[in-house]
Structure 1
Amino acid sequence: MTVNKHDKRDIALDRTEELKQRIESYLEAAKSIPTGFKMEEEYQARKKELLQFFGATEENWQDWHWQMRNRISDVGMLRKLWSLTEEEAEQIESVSEKFRWAVSPYYLSLMEPGNPGCPVRMQGIPSIRELQDNWGKLDPMAEEYTSPAPRITRRYADRLIINVTNQCAMFCRHCQRRRSIGEVDKPAPVEEIKAAIDYIRQNPEVRDVLITGGDPLTLSDEWLDWILSELDKIEHVEIKRIGSRTPVTMPQRITPELCAMLESHHPLYLNTHFNHPREVTQEALRATRMLAKAGISLGNQAVLLKGINNDPHVMKKLNHELLKIHVRPYYIFHAKPVKGTTHFVTTVQEGLEIMENLRGYTSGLAIPWYIINAPGGAGKTPLLPQYLLTMGKDYVMIRTWEGKVFRCANGNI
């Protein structure tokens, strides 16, 4: 049957209306999802209050060393800044006796002080639920059993991790390495870093090295430059990666000097860790834009966290905001059952529902992999909704993002 041009246009217009209806729920929900860009005025007001409290200037605020020195890390100081109830203060104090915490002034300024359910506050301020965890483990990834040399974690054939410090601009409440935080900030000893680099040098199958911690960008430019330079000298190391949350928790760390240094070590990638659209701010944009201009490829490794981002609309909005600041959504990690953090753990079904609401509903650039780490350090395993239904010798049955089922040829038949 021949379809004329007018009828084809009508079919296309009908399809357009159908597509619009499929995205209506997200468009309506997105109006009420707070983002860092929307909250800029509130951020500036809280920033002003913090500057007055510390007797500081804008120049101080933009100095990452000042941000590190003035981290809020005890309930006494927090009470001077926020109106906490006695119960809230006592609970924070109780948690701090077991689990260390610290928040940069910048990251504190993104929080709603009077809202315990604020998705930024939940990531930075201790909760009594950390002490009510009966099933979490200190090291569910068995990193202590996958360390063939000092500071090395190795789970895969061609790549590994160097853990260079336990320092962070903020100690996330869902941190997978909270067992390593300790009581004081402590960069790895020089001899241990040298031993790690020697191990890489002696294993020619290692082509990809991830520098992590803690947060490696809390190290000085000079020390990080030395580590990268040593890796540059190893012929079989093809790429280097840095894992850092400073673009989220302390974007002032990203300076022209840092970017110039990093640019001298290509090919270099940086994966960061935004978990909620509120964290995507103008300050974060300035940091990521500098990194992008230096040729640093940026990816995001979000963690699926109950009460923070376990909502399809929130996760989609986060991914859209990330693309606006040059950051490619890379992974959504299913939260690990780390001791003191399991109140954040969701069901796998929630993660799959999020993936169902991304594929087909937004561009591929905004769709990360949903990953669960197999227990005991057995590695990352991607989880996907079921799109392949059955397979025969000459056909496959597939389900589309809309739930429509099609039979497709399997090979050239």
Structure 2
Amino acid sequence: MSVNLRHEELQLEQEKRRVALRRARELKARIDGYLKEKQNIPNGFEIQEEYCQAKAAILNYFQAGEEQWKDWHWQMTNRIRDVKVLGSLLKLTSEELEDIDKVGRHYRWAVSPYYLALAIAGGVKGPVWVQAIPSIEETKDRYGAEDPMGEEFTSPAPAITRRYPDRLIINVTNQCAMYCRHCQRRRNIGEIDVHKPRKALESAIKYIKENTEIRDVLITGGDALLLSDKQIDWLLTELDNIPHVEIKRIGTRTPVTMPQRITPELCAVLEKHPPIYINSQFNSPLEVTPEAKEACDRLIKAGVVLGNQAVLLKNVNNNANVMKKLNQSLLKIRVRPYYIFHAKAVKGTRHFITGIDEGIEIMEQLRGHTSGLAVPTYIINAPNGYGKTPILPQYLVENKGEQITLRTWEKRIIPYNLGGKSH
């Protein structure tokens, strides 16, 4: 090789490196703002001191210890649902307590001791608190619908909701560890906890057997994991015995609101019935705690595949940096962000609803700015049960067959020939 040729090659390599370094500086600049803001967005691991203080106060009130705290039956029995108890645990004004009591006369509320400790640690009126504790705004909603999804008109058999060709829902209970203030099925909560009777579940199983196109069954509620281990085992066995059912899914928020429910005994049941997919609903980074991680670790060890279906909620997560921190925190505990649901116009929840532009902007700030694994799909549920509709930023600017124009995640407008021809 001649000296001149070698010199030219070195110059070319140096130029490539200069281009790469310039590009690296551009990319680094794009994340600087998030890295600074991230320090002000704690997750549940980063507020453990405040959480432990709140937990100690709740245990002291109930005269209980660590053993009871870890028992999900104790957590359920001692759900806080009375303003007197709430007022004894932390300082709230008489007006605040009166407002909570007033809402409670219209809409039931209850929160597990675990989740209340997390809500207190995250701050009164903070992103966890507002999901759990009633707001007077719930009584001011004049526009919301009781059943915006039209579930009562998509139930061809007892306990069944069907909106798609090859899959359906079995609704097994109205019971939850905590009644989310933004719940899409708050009309079903009522005044008492009721599991679906065996007869209704048997009718649902019969419907699935008779409709051989059904390959995917979602068990939900309420919270499906608040059935007993024995009931869960029976239902999963029935589904396993239907040849055309390929997968089972379970909808549950217990890893978030009461991770104590994820016991070794429950996981032993789930391990018997693969493949099982569980989607939970973490809405705030504060909900990603050591206890939640322990619950998820147990489920994963049992062979369960975990996903997350966040709901876009005003003053909870309608911020790109918050959503990014949430999704990155979830990946660290092996939960894959799956959906971001636009909040439904359920009566009493209007104060949670954001604009579509906010959701699209969040997606803009996720795609390309973080791992693809941390980018869920933004979804609006079409009214009256017509299914999930993905909402995406517009990345295809122009389509002329082989010649298209793209808008990249950095908002660069770039022509692209699908056949590789240059122009």
Give how far 1:11 is off: 1.1
Give how far 1:318 is off: 0.1
SS in structure 1 opposite 2:120? coil
Specify which of 344, 351, 364 is matched with residue 343 of structure 1: 351
Name the structure 2 match of 1:110.
118
| Identical columns (%) | 61
Name the structure 1 match of 2:147.
139
Specify which of 46, 51, 58 is matched with residue 54 of structure 2: 46
> For residue 119 of structure 2, what is the amino acid of its counterpart?
M
Give how far 1:412 is off: 6.7
Contact 1:304 1:310 in 2 (8 A): yes
SS in structure 2 opposite 1:271? strand
Specify which of 5, 9, 17 is matched with residue 13 of structure 2: 5
> For residue 162 of structure 2, what is the amino acid of its counterpart?
R
Name the structure 2 match of 1:183.
191
Specify which of 300, 308, 318 is matched with residue 292 of structure 1: 300
Give how far 1:57 is off: 1.3
Specify which of 118, 126, 133 is matched with residue 125 of structure 1: 133
User: Cα deviation per residue 1:239-294 (whole Å; 9 max; x = unaligned)?
Assistant: 00000000000000001111111010001000000000000000000000111111
Taking a change above 3 Å as real, the CA distance of residues 354 and 157 of structure 1, as seen in their structure-2 partners, is same
Deviating above 2 A after TM superposition, structure 1's stretches of 4 or more consecutive aligned residues are 112-117, 410-413
Give how far 1:112 is off: 2.8
> For residue 370 of structure 1, what is the amino acid of its counterpart?
Y
Name the structure 1 match of 2:3.
none
Distance 1:73 1:274 in 2: 22
Contact 1:117 1:307 in 2 (8 A): no
Contact 2:47 2:121 in 1 (8 A): no
- Write out aligned runs for 1:184-223 (5 A): 184-223=192-231
> For residue 179 of structure 1, what is the amino acid of its counterpart?
R
Name the structure 1 match of 2:105.
97
User: Cα deviation per residue 1:79-130 (whole Å; 9 max; x = unaligned)?
Assistant: 1112111110110011000000000000000013794431000000000000
Name the structure 2 match of 1:86.
94
Distance 1:229 1:185 in 2: 25
> For residue 135 of structure 1, what is the amino acid of its counterpart?
Y
Contact 1:336 1:345 in 2 (8 A): yes
Name the structure 2 match of 1:316.
324
SS in structure 2 opposite 1:173? coil
Distance 2:393 2:32 in 1: 22
Name the structure where helix makes up a greater proportion of residues.
2
Give how far 1:393 is off: 2.4
Contact 2:47 2:122 in 1 (8 A): no
Specify which of 18, 29, 35 is matched with residue 27 of structure 1: 35
SS in structure 2 opposite 1:119? coil
Contact 1:271 1:298 in 2 (8 A): yes
Taking a change above 3 Å as real, the CA distance of residues 363 and 382 of structure 1, as seen in their structure-2 partners, is same
Give how far 1:411 is off: 4.2
Specify which of 222, 230, 235 is matched with residue 227 of structure 1: 235
Q: CA RMSD in A?
A: 1.2
Contact 2:80 2:113 in 1 (8 A): yes
User: Cα deviation per residue 1:327-379 (whole Å; 9 max; x = unaligned)?
Assistant: 00000000000000011000000000000000000010000000000111111
Distance 2:120 2:396 in 1: 44
SS in structure 1 opposite 2:46? coil
Matched, 1:255 2:263: yes
Taking a change above 3 Å as real, the CA distance of residues 88 and 325 of structure 1, as seen in their structure-2 partners, is same
Taking a change above 3 Å as real, the CA distance of residues 223 and 169 of structure 1, as seen in their structure-2 partners, is same
Specify which of 260, 279, 285 is matched with residue 277 of structure 1: 285
Contact 2:122 2:129 in 1 (8 A): no
Specify which of 400, 406, 411 is matched with residue 398 of structure 1: 406
Distance 1:106 1:113 in 2: 11
Distance 2:31 2:374 in 1: 15
Distance 1:305 1:394 in 2: 40
Name the structure 2 match of 1:334.
342
